[in-house]
């Protein structure tokens, strides 16, 4: 049963929720851009990857817990806790004096971030009927598009001035979101009930996810994929996951009710979200790398060059959301989105060192349009498939599936890039070095692949060496995008099996008036 809010209240609540989501969506992009500068000042290069891993572990593992606990105790206290935790982590991260502190405080940030996105989707599902959610959730998709460009821009700017403001900037945004959400959610009643918390299931779930994410984060970097550590982590993750499933079948109030997977729409939507998460990172992570390493743009400028992708995501998220609310169907938007994204990733296999920027911009726009068409409708499909009492856990499961897919995607595509890059540089670099005078060749760095984290250093190399590195990287990217495109094609096939359900409810006068007001702004 949806709580009736006035049009003004709905849009005020949306503004607060979007600010909260922006915090989480922006954080990874902005930190990743400035991380080399941060490590240079704090030291501890050997802990470099942990700054990202700590955040990823905490956010992904906590996501499904927020959904279930909010179903038990209400959305407001959980969302306020998530925002508060994220802000505390941001403040402490900005004050970090060494890498160990930064890693710890990034973990605290991640713990809060796990609830920001999933609870935003859930709260809108509480106050807006399924038929009307599309237009609102489409705006959430626009937040992701904005963060994909604003993150590198802000990260590059603060890296050049004061990196601590990368974290401090979260404070005013978060406080505004906190005040807006707290005031409006007080109007949404929640009846407290006695519950049995599935502590054992929650513990097994978190332990399983942490083991799997550590394996994918460390594999091929900290340890070889065939090492006892990585194999042991995968084995532990699988064993803990099996134990979790057994416990969930017996728990009085399971943290993740397995009965939900009996619903075809729920199961297929989550599978599609997972696969989409694996494939989409080929379009988001490696395009900025191409712009910086091959084209020589700074992080700030490369962020501006990502505008076509951002425009594609924002425009199609909003248009698709409104269209879904109007016609009451979502399946073919998901199918069209996955098809378009697959086509965009396929286009990126044609990239060359000399590819003009306008052509790259078209490829980016295609990928952005695909993402905008399918990301939010998948969440909508899951929400439409469950009852009100399961909205929180269902929404968090969808978010969790995409995050987990993204984590595996980063590991898989990263391993592909590393393997192909080693192969191509082994082939091309000796030929390039042979063209240099012996004295100049002797001054070259021994590990050329290490230069890929510093486009500025690549630019200083002799022309033939720089060309060999760029050719090696572009050729390796072709394989990465072929793999990402193949994974995305699987998402298309899965989406075709999604039942073509009609959204529950009918367009309400309140929602229609809210839409009219937003259009007039």
Q: What are the tens digits of pLDDT across the range 3-17?
A: 566 667 777 777 888
**Of 435, 472, 433, residue with least CA distance to 451:** 472
Winning range, highest mean pLDDT, from 87-101, 159-173, 214-228: 87-101
Residue 244 lies in a domain: yes
Rounded to whole angstroms, the Cα distance separating 419 from 430 reads 18
Q: Give me the sign of the Cα torsion angle 129, 267, 80, 138.
A: negative
Output the six-digit token pair for 99. Answer: 């890498």
- Widest CA span of the chain, in angstroms? 79
Rounded to whole angstroms, the Cα distance separating 498 from 333 reads 11
170 and 242 assigned to the same domain:
no
Domain boundary residue, one of 168, 193, 218: 193
330 and 269 Cβ atoms separated by less than 8 Å: no
Rounded to whole angstroms, the Cα distance separating 215 from 212 reads 5
231 and 160 assigned to the same domain:
no
Average pLDDT over the chain reads: 80
Residue 277 lies in a domain: no
Q: What is the pLDDT of residue 452?
A: 63
236 and 106 assigned to the same domain:
no
Residue 502 lies in a domain: no
**Of 82, 104, 108, residue with least CA distance to 21:** 82
Over residues 305-310, mean pLDDT: 84
Residue 378 lies in a domain: no
Residue 92 lies in a domain: yes
- Which residues make Cβ contacts (< 8 Å) with residue 385, sequence separation at least 6? 263, 265, 266, 269, 394, 501
358 and 349 Cβ atoms separated by less than 8 Å: no
Q: What is the pLDDT of residue 44?
A: 61
Over residues 145-169, mean pLDDT: 79
The domain tally of the chain equals 2
Residue 511 lies in a domain: no
Output the six-digit token pair for 324. Answer: 């879904």
132 and 508 Cβ atoms separated by less than 8 Å: yes
Among 34-38, 102-106, 226-230, 302-306, the minimum mean pLDDT is found in 34-38
Output the six-digit token pair for 355. Answer: 């590819």
99 and 232 assigned to the same domain:
no
108 and 201 assigned to the same domain:
no
124 and 225 assigned to the same domain:
no
What is the separation, in whole angstroms, between the first and last Cα of the chain?
29
Winning range, highest mean pLDDT, from 146-150, 185-189, 203-207, 243-247: 243-247
Q: What is the pLDDT of residue 514?
A: 40
Residue 416 lies in a domain: no
**Residues forming a β-bridge with 219:** 223
Locus of tokens 């959400």: 181
Residue 511 pLDDT > 50, yes or no? no
- Which residues make Cβ contacts (< 8 Å) with residue 318, sequence separation at least 6? 135, 138, 139, 141, 142
Q: What is the pLDDT of residue 465?
A: 82
Residue 374 lies in a domain: no
Instruction: State the CB neighbour count (10 A cutoff) for residue 349.
Output: 15
Rounded to whole angstroms, the Cα distance separating 342 from 336 reads 10
Q: What is the pLDDT of residue 339?
A: 95
479 and 423 Cβ atoms separated by less than 8 Å: no
Rounded to whole angstroms, the Cα distance separating 268 from 63 reads 19
103 and 186 assigned to the same domain:
yes
Structural domain span for residue 226: 196-252
Over residues 468-478, mean pLDDT: 89
pLDDT above 90: percentage of residues in the chain: 19
CATH of the domain at 179: 1.20.1250.20
Locus of tokens 């994918």: 216
Domain boundary residue, one of 174, 193, 212: 193
Rounded to whole angstroms, the Cα distance separating 150 from 289 reads 16
58 and 157 assigned to the same domain:
yes
163 and 329 Cβ atoms separated by less than 8 Å: no
Residue 478 pLDDT > 90, yes or no? yes
122 and 62 assigned to the same domain:
yes
Domain boundary residue, one of 212, 231, 252: 252
151 and 28 assigned to the same domain:
yes
40 and 153 assigned to the same domain:
yes
pLDDT band at 239 (very low <50, low <70, confident <90, very high): very high
Rounded to whole angstroms, the Cα distance separating 276 from 280 reads 6
Q: What is the pLDDT of residues 326-371, one digit of tens each?
A: 888 888 999 999 999 999 999 999 999 889 999 999 999 999 899 8
Output the six-digit token pair for 289. Answer: 């790398």
59 and 188 assigned to the same domain:
yes
Rounded to whole angstroms, the Cα distance separating 36 from 429 reads 25
Rounded to whole angstroms, the Cα distance separating 155 from 432 reads 34
SS (H, E, C) 342-364: HHHHHHHCCCCCCCCHHHHHHHH
Rounded to whole angstroms, the Cα distance separating 226 from 310 reads 39
């Amino acid at each position: 049963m949806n709580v009736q809010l006035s049009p003004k209240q709905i849009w005020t609540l949306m503004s607060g929720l979007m600010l909260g989501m922006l915090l989480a969506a922006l954080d990874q992009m902005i930190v990743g851009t400035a991380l080399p500068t941060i490590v240079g000042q704090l030291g501890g290069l050997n802990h470099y990857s942990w700054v990202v891993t700590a955040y990823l572990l905490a956010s992904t593992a906590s996501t499904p817990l927020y959904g279930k606990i909010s179903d038990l105790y209400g959305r407001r206290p959980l969302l306020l806790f998530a925002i508060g935790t994220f802000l505390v982590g941001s403040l402490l991260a900005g004050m970090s004096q060494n890498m160990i502190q930064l890693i710890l405080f990034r973990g605290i940030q991640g713990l809060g971030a796990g609830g920001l996105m999933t609870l935003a989707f859930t709260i809108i599902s509480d106050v807006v009927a399924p038929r009307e959610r599309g237009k609102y959730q489409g705006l959430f998709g626009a937040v992701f598009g904005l963060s994909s460009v604003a993150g590198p821009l802000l990260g590059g700017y603060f890296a050049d001035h004061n990196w601590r403001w990368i974290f401090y900037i979260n404070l005013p945004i978060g406080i505004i979101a906190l005040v807006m959400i707290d005031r409006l959610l007080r109007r949404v009643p929640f009846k407290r009930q006695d519950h049995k918390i599935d502590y054992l299931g929650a513990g097994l779930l978190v332990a399983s996810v942490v083991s799997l994410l550590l394996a994918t984060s460390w594999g091929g970097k900290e340890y070889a994929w065939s090492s006892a550590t990585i194999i042991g982590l995968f084995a532990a993750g699988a064993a803990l996951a099996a134990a979790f499933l057994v416990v969930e079948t017996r728990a009085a109030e399971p943290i993740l009710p397995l009965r939900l997977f009996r619903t075809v729409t729920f199961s297929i939507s989550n599978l599609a979200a997972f696969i989409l998460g694996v494939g989409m990172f080929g379009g988001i992570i490696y395009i900025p790398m191409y712009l910086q390493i091959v084209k020589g743009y700074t992080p700030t400028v490369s962020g501006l060059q990502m505008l076509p992708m951002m425009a594609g995501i924002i425009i199609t998220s909003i248009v698709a959301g409104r269209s879904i609310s109007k016609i009451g169907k979502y399946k073919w938007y998901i199918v069209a989105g996955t098809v378009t994204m697959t086509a965009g990733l396929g286009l990126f296999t044609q990239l060359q060192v000399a590819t003009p920027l306008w052509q790259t911009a078209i490829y980016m726009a295609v990928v952005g349009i695909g993402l905008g068409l399918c990301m939010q409708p998948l969440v909508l499909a899951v929400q439409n498939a469950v009852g009100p009492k399961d909205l929180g856990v269902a929404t968090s499961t969808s978010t969790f599936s995409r995050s987990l897919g993204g984590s595996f995607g980063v590991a898989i595509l990263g391993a592909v890039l590393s393997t192909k890059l080693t192969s191509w540089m082994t082939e091309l670099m000796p030929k390039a070095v042979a063209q240099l005078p012996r004295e100049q060749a002797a001054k070259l760095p021994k590990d050329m692949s290490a230069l890929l984290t510093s486009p500025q250093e690549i630019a200083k190399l002799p022309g033939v060496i720089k060309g060999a590195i760029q050719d090696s990287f572009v050729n390796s990217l072709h394989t990465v995008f072929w793999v990402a495109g193949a994974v995305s094609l699987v998402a298309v096939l899965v989406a075709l099996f999604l039942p073509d359900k009609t959204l529950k409810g009918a367009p309400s006068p309140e929602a229609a008036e809210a839409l009219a007001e937003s259009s007039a702004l």
